[in-house]
Chain A
Amino acid sequence: MAREMPHATGKVPPGDVTQRVGIEVMEARGVNVEELREKLIDAIAAEFASTYYYYTILRMYLAGHEDYKEICEDARLEDRAHFELMTPRVYELGGSLPYNLHEFADRAGCPHAYLPGTDNGQHAPEMGDGKGPSAADILEVLLDSERCAIRTWSEICDLTAGGKDPRTYDLASRILNEEIEHEAWFIELLSMERDGVVRPSGHFRRGEPGEAPYSKNRPLYNP
């Protein structure tokens, strides 16, 4: 019997620009392209609207913890890189960003990382006299956010693994690499800040803020 040849099952005629072989080959391998695309939009909405945007605010309130601010900055900029890395894939799969930013933020697959003490972003936090969000409170929000990101990109990897969609798998697994690092950073910082316990991330510093060694096409920091 002839070997299985999913690449040779397509029906797109030469010169037809209304269909994509890049999608056809995924369908031939059993990917539900529309469902995957919708999940990708939820996932990049989370990167952009749940983390990148809200981490900007969280970082502002880590005043006095310059080391935490640096780490938060790396995570913040890398989440923006994740949005940038996966957005083109949405278009390749026949989708688009929502034409309204509110709609985009609303569909994020992970919770918005609101600043503690703001009633989920309803108002500014009360400050002064030891009031205001503590570093530990902020680190908890950051840690929970990274955990949702890990679950999200792991699911995308599961849906595309095993040769079903090598391109999305490659992009998602690069993002996942960094999300796993982000979790380790915030475990290390929160564990010491809140519980006084050393739990090393085991990582060396980024070469520059938001270097994104996996999700930007630059060499790894490996001196």
Chain B
Amino acid sequence: MAEKTFTVKVEFPEGGEETFEAGAGEYILGAARRAGLQLPSLCEQGWDLACAVKIVEGEVDQSDSRRYFEEDRKCGFALICTGKACSDLVIVPYQSKQMRKCRDEHGLPAPRGT
């Protein structure tokens, strides 16, 4: 049986949007790259915040990420380098500073340079 796929809509902070398909078992960043969409990343292991996105709609599975907190989810952020879509998604990329602010507000660790 073919893997379930979801539609991921990317809304860029400066306007404009792109859409691509992501399989249920693959990382969202990898699916974006396959579709020819360049999004930022650094460690690609779900630790630093370079690949942070705001989740406008939908659910992301972060169980493969090396450092992801419940508070991150409550603040509405995902790390797409190691996040898998669990539903259709609407996401806003380039959110590392915003995600770090959420970490700071909850006294949680984060790199400071991304």
Contacts and interface: CB of A to CB of B under 8 A. Distances in A.
A155 interface: yes
Interface string A179-196: 000000000000000000
A106 B111 CA distance: 7
B45 A35 contact: no
A41 B112 contact: yes
A115 interface: no
B45 A41 contact: no
Contacts of B112: 38, 41-42, 107
B67 A109 contact: no
Contacts of A45: 111
Contacts of A137: none
B47 interface: yes
A126 B52 CA distance: 35
A148 B44 CA distance: 7
Interface in A99-114: 106-111
Interface in A102-156: 106-111, 144, 147-148, 151-152, 155
Contact of A148 (B47, B110, B113): B47
Interface string B27-60: 0000000000000011111011000000000000
A206 B32 CA distance: 40
B47 A110 contact: yes
Nearest to B108: A106
B45 A42 contact: no
A80 B28 CA distance: 34
Contacts of B114: 39, 42, 109
Interface string A23-56: 0000000000001111111110100000000000
Interface in B87-114: 109-114
Contact of B113 (A38, A144, A147, A151): A38
Contacts of A42: 48, 111-114
B80 to A, nearest CB: 15
A41 B48 CA distance: 13
B113 A111 contact: no
Contacts of B42: 109, 148, 151-152, 155
Contacts of B66: 111
A110 B113 contact: no
A148 to B, nearest CB: 4
Given A42-B48, A111-B67, 13 more contacts: A37-B113, A39-B114, A42-B111, A106-B109, A107-B110, A108-B111, A110-B45, A110-B47, A110-B48, A148-B42, A151-B43, A151-B44, A152-B42
29 contacts: A35-B113, A36-B113, A37-B113, A39-B114, A41-B112, A42-B112, A43-B113, A45-B111, A106-B109, A106-B110, A107-B110, A107-B112, A109-B42, A109-B111, A109-B114, A110-B45, A110-B47, A111-B47, A111-B66, A147-B45, A148-B42, A148-B44, A148-B45, A148-B47, A151-B42, A151-B43, A151-B44, A152-B43, A155-B42
